[in-house]
Amino acid sequence: MENNSGEKPFVSIIIPTWREAVILSKCLDSLFGQDYPKDKYEIILIANKKIDISDGRVKIIYGVDYANSRNAGAKIAKGEISAFVDDDCIIPKDWISKAVKYFQDEKISIVGGPALPFEKEKLPYRIGGYLLQSSFSAGFATSRYKILPSVREVQEYNLLTANNFVRKSAFEKIAGFDTSQVPAEESNLYFRTKKAGYKLLYAPDVFVWHRAKPIFLPLSQKIFFYSSGRGLLLARKPEAVKLVYLIPTIFVLTIFFLAILSLFSNKAFYALLAIMDIYLAASLFNAFYIFLKFERNILVFFYSIPAAFLMHFSYGLGLLCGFFKYFSGTAKKGISPKSKY
């Protein structure tokens, strides 16, 4: 994308940061090494503690909570395009250059790509990354964590705020992120963007590297937290409901009720047994797929089975939690995380 004078657009990179300085420094080093003109981008950090940075391209905002952080960064951004990325990402040097070319189409307001899990990690982190790239374990979200074969217009569930570029004019028109919709605030933004008539674009060459959560508990906690936000979003906007969002919750509820009914009915017991047999067979197939595709380690095979189950169970319960918080009136300002995500 270039403006009428042939100049490249100015890009504002917005990064909420809550992690240790060594993690942030790796992200910043990769951004300082971009092949995009140095005078055509800035970096805006929203931090909860003092950061010592002398580079003139970096602006720092203090005293803003997580829910308001990205909006606060966008408010002072000078760029025609705002780029949102997480502080634990490593950015390829041509990240900005590749992204801005897709904004030639004025109807495209958001361009995003996958956040690829790091490969050189300890085993629990690697398995977490493999599961996120498997359709059985991660469902509709796999496009967020692996490279799809082509550029395409997508739905709100295909992108994530760890890696996306947003046209400032469109962002302002829809009033930015809804700060009462945390988590899943990005899904809310994407949904409202499409509803306003703009396009969301998935670009496989616009990728970053991002550390996956390790199995078992950290990954399950993260999924529970984000699916609770998804439940909150669906309760607020029923028109955003898709069957694919509900499948894990339907699975959890079916298992729960059949388990109770099986105490009184043999038919319910056999139905429960049949469902679990089918699920186990699918889990074994998924574990074998991960074993063959990603890493031929017997521990990867065996750990993938319970880890995928915990992912599905956490998502199903999280969605119910989001519904409950909405209908009980306890999530008017969103859902606060219990830890840093």
pLDDT digits (tens, 9 = 90+) for 233-266: 999 999 999 999 999 999 999 999 999 999 999 9
Which of 185-189, 235-239, 264-268, 333-337 has the weakest average pLDDT?
333-337
pLDDT score recorded for residue 190: 96
69-108, pLDDT tens digit by residue? 999 999 999 999 999 999 999 999 999 999 999 999 999 9
CA dist 85 and 78 (Å) reads 17
**Nearest one of 14, 8, 206, 11 to 92, comparing CA atoms:** 206
Whether 306 has a pLDDT exceeding 80, the answer reads yes
Burial level of 139, CB count in 10 A (0-12/13-18/19+)? middle
Alpha-carbon Rg for the chain in angstroms: 21
Tell me the domains of the chain and their CATH numbers: 1-98 (3.90.550.10), 217-327 (no CATH)
Ordered alpha helix ranges (H), 210-242: 217-236
What average pLDDT does the segment 287-315 reach? 98
Question: What confidence category does residue 54 fall into, taking pLDDT thresholds of 50, 70 and 90?
Answer: confident
Report the pLDDT value the prediction gives residue 221, as an integer from 0 to 100: 96
In contact, 249 and 243? CB cutoff 8 Å: no
At 67 the pLDDT is 86
How far is residue 253's CA from residue 249's CA, in Å, rounded to a whole number? 6
Given this model, what pLDDT does residue 333 score?
82
The pLDDT value given to residue 331: 85
Q: What is the reported pLDDT for 318?
A: 97
pLDDT band of residue 335 (cuts 50, 70, 90) is confident
Burial 10-39 (b: 16+ CB within 10 A, else e): bbbbbbbbbeeeebbebbbebbeebebeee
Q: Is the dihedral of CA 178, 184, 190, 194 positive or negative?
A: negative
Q: What is the pLDDT of residue 93?
A: 98
pLDDT category, 7, cuts 50, 70, 90?
Answer: confident
Confidence category of residue 339, pLDDT binned at 50, 70, 90 = low
pLDDT at 222: 95
In DSSP terms, which residues pair with 165 in a beta bridge? Answer: 83, 111
Confidence of residue 66 (pLDDT cuts 50, 70, 90): confident
| C-alpha to C-alpha distance for 45 and 34, rounded to whole angstroms | 17
pLDDT of residue 3: 57
338 CB-contact burial (10 Å; exposed 0-12 / middle 13-18 / buried 19+) = exposed
For strands 152-153 and 108-112, give the pairing: unpaired
Burial 100-124 (b: 16+ CB within 10 A, else e): bebbeeeebbbbbbbbbbeeeeeeb
**Cα–Cα distance list, 209 to 12, 88, 145, 147, 173 (Å):** 20, 9, 9, 12, 30
Q: Output the six-digit token pair for 168.
A: 């400032």
* Pair of tokens at residue 100: 């801005």
- 236 vs 219: CA distance, rounded Å: 26
Which structure tokens are listed for 127? 């398995």
pLDDT at position 2 is 63
Distance of CA 301 to the CA centre of its chain: 25
Q: What is the pLDDT of residues 123-145, one digit of tens each?
A: 999 999 999 999 999 998 999 99
What's the chain's average pLDDT? 94
Calculate mean pLDDT across residues 288-309.
98
CA distance 214 to 255: 26
Strands (E) across the chain are located at: 11-17, 41-47, 58-62, 81-85, 89-90, 108-112, 115-117, 152-153, 163-167, 199-202, 208-210
